[in-house]
Amino acid sequence: MIPFFDAVKNFEEYFTGTYGIRFEPWPLFILAMLLILNAYIWMPGVVSLSFSMALFLAPVWLPFLLVGGAIDLWYIFKKSEFIAAQKYVLLEVRPPRNLVKTPLAMETFLTSLHLTGGESNWWARITGGVRPWWSLELASFEGQVHFFIWTRAKLRSIVEAQMYAQYPGVQITEAIDYTRLISATPEEWNVWGCDYWQKGADPLPMKTYVEFGLDKVQKEPEQTDPLASIIEFMSSVGKGEYIWFQLIIRAHKGEKYSKTKSDGKPHTWKDEAKDLLKKIREETRDVYVDPDTKKKTLGFPNPTKGQLEMMAAIERNVSKLAFDVGGRAIYIAKPKSFNAAVITHLISLYKPVNSEGWNSIESTGWLKNFDDYPWETGVDKRKDSFRRHLVEVFRRRQFFHNPFYQGSHSPSKIMVMSTEEIATIYHIPSASIEAPGLARIRSTTGQAPENLPT
């Protein structure tokens, strides 16, 4: 059975996407109250009997309702308490000018962040423990592009050690939270933002750095890095304009699918991959009709080249470690500097890695919810409310937990991506990317020799 709130959300998404009609829940509530009142006027005896029966049976159904709600609130309270008690740090990563590394280095770095501690047993979950999550960020300050990694302060040493191991010449420094250096309020700034989600099934990959030939070091003129277009775009904004982008990641354990297998274990993206591969294999077999018995049977598999490549890509993708991923971008500008063309680019930010035959990343949610149809009432106030909430969620780097859980009624917003996919759209750029706004250090730094005289 589909939960009530999920059914309401599906209803809203259908009418919004199909007819451009925005569904509001409060008119439905008012209509329900009017129907009950109407029924009481015409059939007072029946309505009174119904309420009497519900009240009489309250000792049966009310405890389940109260206990279930209390347990949910307990989990939310304990998790919020645990999250608030942690200390966090924002690290800026500045690459050197002569960096020669492929995205494979970032993929190796990401494997070290695949940590599931904090939710290893039922007691840890009851007491509010949550596994760590990370925010991989790109920020453009009036055309100056910077790389950041947000993490728990206790895990800072892991980030620094693994980053230096894969990128020996980078410079890592603790940074001030740039999101709090400006007010970003709708009264002073124009704010537009969206989330990102995968259009196809999670195990189906997009075009990764392997398809771009970046799994091997190439000559600079021959390199085609999909991240270059994103950095160039973020470098193009001018005075009074800011673009913030983040990928919030945590180790995947199957929560997105909200179901379990027969053995009680969570249904993960590998299980979804098996279902997807089974469906593709069935499509490769034509139905054969015996001319004598008229009996229908499946013929010998005859996959096309595209189907073979798709199955191989799915198997390669799910062989890597997986993360739950929440993608988000915000464009903030002074009213005089606001450029609507930036919104168009944010909507199609990931087109370089999208594939019509495989998977694609598309924009969704937040300010993209508004179509500005004439029958949409109170749009300006709702937009301002969305803008404030969007900035607050970005500042808190939240995606997976209440009260900023983006998957409770819209699980499609949570993407499940392999380390290979994440490394394609977020990696420390090599010297081949020469965007003028990309902040690099002039020379590499290193430790002093051990044999220096004291």
End-to-end CA distance of the chain: 74
**Which are the contacts of 254, defined by CB distance < 8 A and separation ≥ 6?**
265, 266, 267, 268, 269
Decide if 101 contacts 89 (C-beta within 8 A): no
What residue spans of 190-328 are helical by DSSP H? 226-235, 269-283, 305-318
Measured between alpha carbons, how far is 112 from 109 in angstroms, rounded to an integer? Answer: 6
One-letter amino acid for residue 390 of the chain: L
What radius of gyration, in Å, describes the C-alpha atoms of the chain? 26
Measured between alpha carbons, how far is 237 from 144 in angstroms, rounded to an integer? Answer: 9
Measured between alpha carbons, how far is 214 from 211 in angstroms, rounded to an integer? Answer: 8
C-alpha angle 403/407/410, rounded to 5°?
120
Measured between alpha carbons, how far is 96 from 428 in angstroms, rounded to an integer? Answer: 10
The 3-state DSSP class for residue 293 equals coil
Half-sphere CA count of 80, side-chain side, radius 13 A: 10
Class of residue 23 by CB neighbours under 10 A (exposed 0-12, middle 13-18, buried 19+): middle
The CA–CA distances, whole Å, from 289 to 299, 303, 304 equal 9, 19, 22
What is the β-pairing status of strands 241-251 and 190-198?
unpaired
Count of other CB atoms within 10 angstroms of residue 273: 20
For the chain, the structural domain boundaries read 4-55, 76-259+308-425
Measured between alpha carbons, how far is 138 from 230 in angstroms, rounded to an integer? Answer: 10
Tokens for 414, please give them.
């949570």
Q: For every one of its 454 residues, what pLDDT tens digit does the chain have, with 9 covering 90 and above?
A: 334 444 444 544 444 443 334 455 667 778 888 888 888 788 888 888 887 888 888 888 888 878 877 887 888 888 888 898 999 999 999 999 888 888 999 999 999 999 988 776 777 777 788 899 999 999 999 999 999 999 999 999 999 999 999 999 899 999 999 999 999 999 999 999 999 999 999 999 999 999 988 887 766 556 788 999 999 999 999 999 999 999 999 999 877 776 666 666 778 888 999 999 998 888 887 777 767 777 777 777 788 888 899 999 999 999 999 999 999 999 999 999 999 999 999 999 999 999 888 899 999 989 988 877 777 677 888 899 999 999 999 999 999 887 776 543 344 488 999 999 999 999 999 888 888 888 788 655 555 456 656 5
Longest dimension (CA), the chain: 99
One-letter amino acid for residue 262 of the chain: S
Class of residue 41 by CB neighbours under 10 A (exposed 0-12, middle 13-18, buried 19+): exposed
**Which are the contacts of 17, defined by CB distance < 8 A and separation ≥ 6?**
none
Decide if 103 contacts 424 (C-beta within 8 A): yes
Tokens for 201, please give them.
């099934």
